[in-house]
Amino acid sequence: MKVVRIGVVVGVVLLGGCTAHKQAGQPTATSGTGVKQPVFSAGGKGIGDRYFPAYGNGGYDVADYDLSLRYDPVDGGLSGTATITATTTQNLSRFNLDFKDLKASSVTVDGAVCATREDDDELTVTPPAGIAEGKRFTTVVNYVSTRTRKNTRNTTGGWLPAQVGGFALGEPASARTWYPVNDHPSDKATYKLKMTVPAGLQVISNGTPSPQTTSDGWTTWTWTEASPMASYLSTVAIGHYRIDRSTHLGRPMVIAVPSSLPADSPPAQAVARTGEIADFLATRFGPYPFDAYGALVLDDSRIDFALETQSRPTYASTILRPDNGTSVVAHELAHQWFGDSVSLKRWKDIWLNEGFATYAQWLWKEHEGELSVQDSFDQAYSKTEWKLPPGDPGADALFAAPVYQRGAMTLQALRSAIGDAAFFALLKSWPAEHKNGNAATDDFIAAATRAAGGRDMKSLLTTWLFAAAKPPKPSSSER
Torsion of CA 470, 472, 475, 479, to 10 degrees: -70
In angstroms, give the least distance from the CB of 324 to ligand TRP: 13
In angstroms, give the least distance from the CB of 214 to ligand TRP: 32
In angstroms, give the least distance from the CB of 122 to Zn ion: 28
Which does residue 307 bind out of ligand TRP, Zn ion, none, counting CB within 5 to 8 angstroms by kind?
A: ligand TRP
In angstroms, give the least distance from the CB of 133 to Zn ion: 37
One-letter amino acid at 375 equals: D
> Cis link prior to 172 (omega < 30° from 0)?
yes
In angstroms, give the least distance from the CB of 354 to Zn ion: 5
DSSP state of 423: H
Q: What part of residues 307-366 is at the interface with Zn ion (CB under 5 A)?
A: 354, 357
* DSSP per-residue string spanning 327-368: HHHHHHHHHHHBTTTEEESSGGGTHHHHHHHHHHHHHHHHHT
**Cross-strand pairs, 66:** 83, 192
In angstroms, give the least distance from the CB of 303 to ligand TRP: 8
Among 365, 355, 346, 339, residue whose Cα is nearest residue 431 = 339
- Smaller CB separation from ligand TRP, 92 or 334: 334
- Smaller CB separation from ligand TRP, 224 or 353: 353
Q: Which of 308, 340, 349, 443 binds ligand TRP (CB under 6 A)?
A: 308
Q: Which of 161, 354, 416, 438 binds ligand TRP (CB under 6 A)?
A: 354
Which does residue 431 bind out of Zn ion, ligand TRP, none, counting CB within 5 to 8 angstroms by kind?
A: none
Burial 149-177 (b: 16+ CB within 10 A, else e): beebeeeebbbbbbeebbbbbbbbbbbbb
Q: How far is CA 442 from the centre of its chain?
A: 21
Q: Which stretch binds ligand TRP (CB under 6 A): 16-24, 79-87, 165-173, 277-285?
A: 165-173
Q: Does 306 interact with ligand TRP (rule: CB under 6 A)?
A: yes
Positive or negative torsion for Cα 404, 450, 378, 273: negative
- Smaller CB separation from ligand TRP, 170 or 207: 170
Phi first, then psi: give them for residue 335, nearest 5 degrees.
-60, -20
One-letter amino acid at 370 equals: E
- Smaller CB separation from Zn ion, 102 or 357: 357
Site string for ligand TRP, 379-418 (x = CB under 6 A): --------------------x-------------------
Could you list the residues that contact ligand TRP (CB under 6 A)?
A: 169-171, 305-308, 331-332, 354, 399
